Structure 1
Amino acid sequence: MSSLDQLRGAFRTALDLPADAPVDDLKYQDNEKWDSLAHMSLIATIEDEFSIMIDTDDVINMSSFAEAINILGKYGVDLHD
């Protein structure tokens, strides 16, 4: 499984989405399941999945799937298929 697929899985798990739900275009404001509680669950899931600790500014700025890719790149996670 690619790292990008792992990130997709983390989003689906944390946001309680179906296993085949598209997530690549997800944005915080556009998804009713992505509230503040789900956001913290998402951060924890991503941290566990990639064995990293995300700093507070990045937690706040992670407002979309695309932004998550950019942020994880700062932590040395390569998210290209």
Structure 2
Amino acid sequence: MPKSDEILAATMRSTLALPEDYSTAEMVFSQTPGWDSLAHMRLVAEIEEKFDIMLDLDDIIDMSSFAKAQEILKKYGVTD
């Protein structure tokens, strides 16, 4: 797993209070324990801080899974 993906996964697990072994494939908004609208905004803030970016509103709304978050980060030039 690329380093940026590892950081994203760790950030999501930490923010959502998920176990270290929680599968990134299962990280989906409203299906992942604790990932509700309030947690989503905390997650956005943590991602912005970790990667030193500012997400636009459309990306915040579209970020509905770990895979989608990876895609959005690439859009902002976050790569390894």
**CA deviation string 1:11-47 (max 9, x = no partner):** 0111011222222331113113100111011101111
Q: In structure 2, list runs of 5 or more residues that go unmatched.
A: none
1:62-81 matches, cutoff 5 A: 62-78=63-79
* Matched residue type, 2:39: A
Asked if 1:55 corresponds to 2:56, the answer is yes
Aligned length: 79
Q: TM-score, normalised by structure 2?
A: 0.89
SS at match of 1:24: helix
CA distance in 2, matches of 1:29, 1:20: 19
Runs of 4+ in structure 1 over 6 Å off = none
Following superposition, the deviation at residue 68 of structure 1 comes to 0.3
Q: In structure 1, list runs of 5 or more residues that go unmatched.
A: none
- Give % identity: 47
CA distance in 2, matches of 1:24, 1:11: 12
